[in-house]
Amino acid sequence: MTYIIEGSTGPWEIVVGLEVHCQVVSNSKLFSGASTKFGNDANSNVSLVDAAMPGMLPVINAECVRQAVKTGLGLKAQINKESVFSRKNYFYADLPQGYQISQFDKPIVGKGTIILDMPDGTTKSVGIERLHLEQDAGKSMHDQDPKYSHIDLNRSGVALMEIVSDPDIRHPEEAGAYLTKLRAIVRYLGTCDGNMNEGSMRCDANVSVRRPGEPFGTRCEIKNVNSIRFVMQAIEIEAKRQVEVLESGGEIIQQTRLFDQRLGETRAMRSKEMAHDYRYFPDPDLLPLVFDDAFIAEIEKTLPELPDEKKARFINENGLSAYDAGVLVAEKEKADYYEIVAKGRDGKLAANWVITNLFGALNKAEVGIAESPVTAENLGKLIDLISNDTISGRIAKDVFEIMIETGGDPEKIVEEKGLKQITDTGAIETAIDEVIAANPDKVQEIRDGKDRMLGWFVGQVMKSTGGKANPGMVNKMLRDKILG
């Protein structure tokens, strides 16, 4: 999938690489014992190390190392048994040390791959260049006082995994699919909660344009975009801006830009720094990070079934289409819900009820799977009631509506409302005889060869029984009575 911008001088292709900062799930920070809990009072999660008090030395958090390695394994990436922490030197008010401890030329994780599931059912591989560990900066707050900016250091020193993609993305939708898949992987692994609205997953998009087949153009980096939808919008808007500049005879300057979603534009923040501007050098307070194969093997044992493997299993074992399996595995909670519903039941029928009926109702109510009023166990019971002919598929939809409203047990709803399917041939035969007697002309039409009228009779019988007659039995008995 390639996104082509038709300019006045010909077509342009976009080239995108993404840098995603994922906050590591851990109780304490990367180099201190301070809490990482989100939402605490400003400056309440700050140790002397985080505040860069003189003489304070960093001590590596082993859990953060394990989480980074686990993420690397989940990305099918190379794990580097020796990596080095370096100081990235720059000044900002919310960076108390005057430098950020990061990793430069020796990251903890090397090259890997993410397989994207595109909306049209195709897949695409996007390379991972690296994953490195680094500490987060604090937060500058400019809306607390009319004259002064406030600094909150709660986030200072929190462990981040920066996951850098290769420039393999050629369409805003591919960028969206990449972020969706990456978020699913880290959530399955339990290494990052992926909550972009809380800032625990943030994206920088590197965007350039070129004539198809030509070398890469000069890129601009759009910083700190905090939703997948906004990343897709920012890429499209920035690419079109670059095309306009180039076609008017201008030159793209490598710079860092900010996306304003309200105005629908990107704005220059500063010229883009190069690596040498940060004067990286190995942190003298930290030894190289070294571990062995046994350390990696222990972590590998804890890996859960990841989205790609789960999708393949749903296709092979439950007979699902690639699209349906992809929808179900996109979020771990949805996949877990489906597995409970499908256990011991028809996998395709279960998927249809979960995707079409349940997800449709949840989307309408604007709630997630965790807030579903219908439990997986109760949806499974509803499917059982259809399978054992207690209720028809049409009645099941009515029962489901009641379940959405009340969260009730389908077996009790069917019992209390008297919705059990009529399978007594005597009762069905009586209803059929009444409909036939009232419509002799239509009976004759069927006998004259108009078979489609049979469906009309089925509808009339179902109507007279309040939809409770078994449709299969009605169809067969009507044929026997009319066509003999």
pLDDT tens digits for range 12-49 = 999 999 999 999 999 999 999 999 999 899 999 999 99
Average pLDDT over residues 235-241: 96
pLDDT band at 227 (very low <50, low <70, confident <90, very high): very high
Query: How confident is the model at residue 457, as a pLDDT?
Result: 78
Give Cβ neighbours of residue 88 (< 8 Å, ≥ 6 apart): 99, 100, 101, 102, 104, 134, 278, 280
Query: How confident is the model at residue 192, as a pLDDT?
Result: 97
Query: In the chain, count of helices (H) and strands (E)?
Result: 16, 16
Average pLDDT over residues 282-300: 97
pLDDT digits (tens, 9 = 90+) for 161-208: 999 999 999 999 999 999 999 999 999 999 999 999 888 999 999 999
The answer to whether residue 137 scores a pLDDT higher than 70 is yes
* Greater pLDDT, 454 or 421: 454
Which range among 119-123, 271-275, 380-384, 446-450 shows the weakest confidence by mean pLDDT?
Answer: 271-275
Query: How confident is the model at residue 48, as a pLDDT?
Result: 96
Give Cβ neighbours of residue 222 (< 8 Å, ≥ 6 apart): 204, 205, 206, 207, 234, 235, 238, 257, 258, 259, 266
Q: What is the mean pLDDT of the chain?
A: 91
44, HSE (Cβ side, Cα atoms, 13 Å):
6
Query: How confident is the model at residue 396, as a pLDDT?
Result: 92
* Domains of the chain, earliest start first: 4-299 (no CATH), 307-417 (no CATH), 425-483 (1.10.10.410)
pLDDT digits (tens, 9 = 90+) for 433-477: 787 888 877 777 777 677 777 778 778 877 877 777 777 777 777
Query: How confident is the model at residue 468, as a pLDDT?
Result: 73
Contact 259, 237 (CB under 8 A): yes
| Global confidence as pTM | 0.85
The beta strand positions in 418-480, using DSSP E, are none
The answer to whether residue 87 scores a pLDDT higher than 80 is yes
- Alpha-helical (H) ranges within 210-266 are 228-247
pLDDT digits (tens, 9 = 90+) for 52-85: 999 999 999 999 999 999 999 999 999 999 999 9
Average pLDDT over residues 228-246: 96
Query: How confident is the model at residue 296, as a pLDDT?
Result: 98
Which range among 330-339, 385-394, 454-463 shows the weakest confidence by mean pLDDT?
Answer: 454-463
Residues 166 and 248: their CA atoms lie apart, in Å, by 29
